[in-house]
Amino acid sequence: MNRRRAFVGLLANPVVDRHRDAELFGLIRDPRHRADLMGWFSNRLGYRLVVTDTSARLFRLPLGDKVIAPRRLTLTSRRALVLALLAAAAAEDAEDITSTQDLSDRVRVLSGREDTGVAEYDPDRFAERKLFAQAVSLLVSTAALIPADKSGDEQREGWARKTDKVGGTFGVQREMLLRMVDPASLAAALGERGAVVNDSAERFTVMRRLIELPVCLYSDLTEAERAYLIRQRTRVVAWCHEMTGWTVEQRVEGLALIAAEESQTDLPFPRLRAVDFVALMVLGELYRRRDENSVVTEDDLVAAVTEVASAHPKSITAEISAASARRDRTVELLRALDLLRPGLRPRLWQLTPAAARYRDPRILSVTARLEEAE
């Protein structure tokens, strides 16, 4: 049980700090679990788990030039990522205790160098300061910076709005700074590493699709990958259960790993909020409108969004009061769940086989209020 908790915990939190995540770090470092965890990640998924006296870091190494990972519902802007990398480089030369303002000053100088190759950072602009505050938050999430006090988020937000603030104060974790970027992943991101084919490629692809994605569809696999899954299906199912304790649902179209608890998935659906309700009802309407190939048109999508708003007006909150917002948020969520994909031609959408699980949703009267925000 504890070994499974450590495995699932690392999937959800690939950076584990001894102080910030004491319980999870203890499970990972436990001599009864550590070797098995490293073997599971390495031999079954092709990942690398690095455990030290102060931290644990799971590197999701690419397969050649691609990474199999869930589609993010919200993406960090490229500029914030660039500023985070510059701030990480600046933090290496900073004192053991630094501040948002100190890092900002260092990044301003660093970005102004001709050999840096990025747009110069201008902290006098509010938009840039806000992005830099996000960049610092990213470094905190990777445990490269440890807040010296619990009001770090508030201080960073205050720093972005007021130029006379120093922002939050942080302890610099140099070991985690060095482990932020894996060389193989960086090479793949920069397009400097081509496809790698080896005896484990099919196993890694199949296992990653089952562990990381909502479903592993046979139609998404290459011929060699399908052959591996068909040949080794019993072993694959046993591995998934051993590592997670979850249930593997086997269908004609493929396999799905079903988490035991809602808290164990990165994107539970449907949640008790307006966007999820609308997306669920729209999905049900699209399922009824689909053709024999489970294809719907953009007109079908717009009509379904309109129909749901008309039939359930009390479910429409201010966040999705505009028809365009309802349509965009619905598509965003259904695509993140891999229930809806772009079709082969413009203005066409493809429902995936998993969409059938949500057909004809039954509405129950509830007293809890649907939330407008996540």
Give 106-140 pLDDT, tens digit per residue: 999 999 998 888 999 999 999 999 999 999 999 99
What pLDDT does residue 371 have?
55
In the sheet with 340-342, reading across from the earlier edge strand, the strands are: 295-297, 348-351, 340-342
What is the CA angle 81-82-88, rounded to 5?
A: 90
What pLDDT does residue 131 have?
95
How many whole angstroms separate alpha carbon 317 and alpha carbon 373? 10
What burial letters (b/e) apply to 10-44, b meaning 16+ CB within 10 Å?
bbebebbbbebbeebbebbbeeebbeebbebbeeb
The class of domain 274-358 in CATH terms is mainly alpha
Please say if the pLDDT value at position 373 is more than 50: no
Percent of the chain at pLDDT > 70 equals: 91
Chain centre distance of CA 58 = 14
Tokens representing 9 are 């915990």
Considering only residues 122 and 163, tell me which one the structure prediction assigns the higher pLDDT.
122
Tokens representing 81 are 């990522």
pLDDT digits (tens, 9 = 90+) for 204-252: 999 999 999 979 999 999 999 999 999 999 999 999 999 999 999 999 9
Please say if the pLDDT value at position 197 is more than 60: no
Tokens representing 328 are 């965009």
Which phi and psi angles does 325 have, rounded to 5°?
Answer: -65, -40
What burial letters (b/e) apply to 170-209, b meaning 16+ CB within 10 Å?
bebbeebbebbebeeeeebeeeebeeeeeebbbbbbbbbb
How many whole angstroms separate alpha carbon 95 and alpha carbon 369? 48
How many whole angstroms separate alpha carbon 33 and alpha carbon 54? 17
Tokens representing 241 are 């259960």
What pLDDT does residue 367 have?
52
- What's the pLDDT band for 374 if we cut at 50, 70, 90? very low
What is 125-170 written as a DSSP string? SHHHHHHHHHHHHHHHHTTSEEESSTTHHHHHHHHHH-TT----EE
In the sheet with 169-172, reading across from the earlier edge strand, the strands are: 97-99, 169-172, 145-147
117: alpha, beta or left? (left if phi > 0; alpha if psi -120 to 50): left
pLDDT digits (tens, 9 = 90+) for 30-42: 999 999 999 999 9
Q: CA distances (Å), 174 to each of 93, 96, 99, 178, 283, in order? A: 10, 9, 15, 6, 47
Which residue pairs, CB below 8 angstroms and at least 24 apart, start in 30-38?
Answer: 30/2, 30/6, 32/3, 33/2, 33/3, 33/6, 36/3, 37/3, 37/6, 37/7, 37/10
How many whole angstroms separate alpha carbon 6 and alpha carbon 310? 46
pLDDT digits (tens, 9 = 90+) for 51-99: 999 899 999 988 877 778 777 777 789 999 999 999 999 999 999 999 9
Q: Which CATH number fits domain 78-178: 1.10.3470, 1.10.10, 2.60.40, 3.10.590?
A: 1.10.10
How many whole angstroms separate alpha carbon 125 and alpha carbon 315? 39
- Which of these, 11, 5, 14, lies nearest to 56 by C-alpha position? 14
Residue 300 CB partners (closer than 8 Å, separation 6+): 286, 289, 349
- Which of these, 70, 56, 77, lies nearest to 134 by C-alpha position? 77
* Bridge partners for 51 per DSSP: 56
What pLDDT does residue 289 have?
96
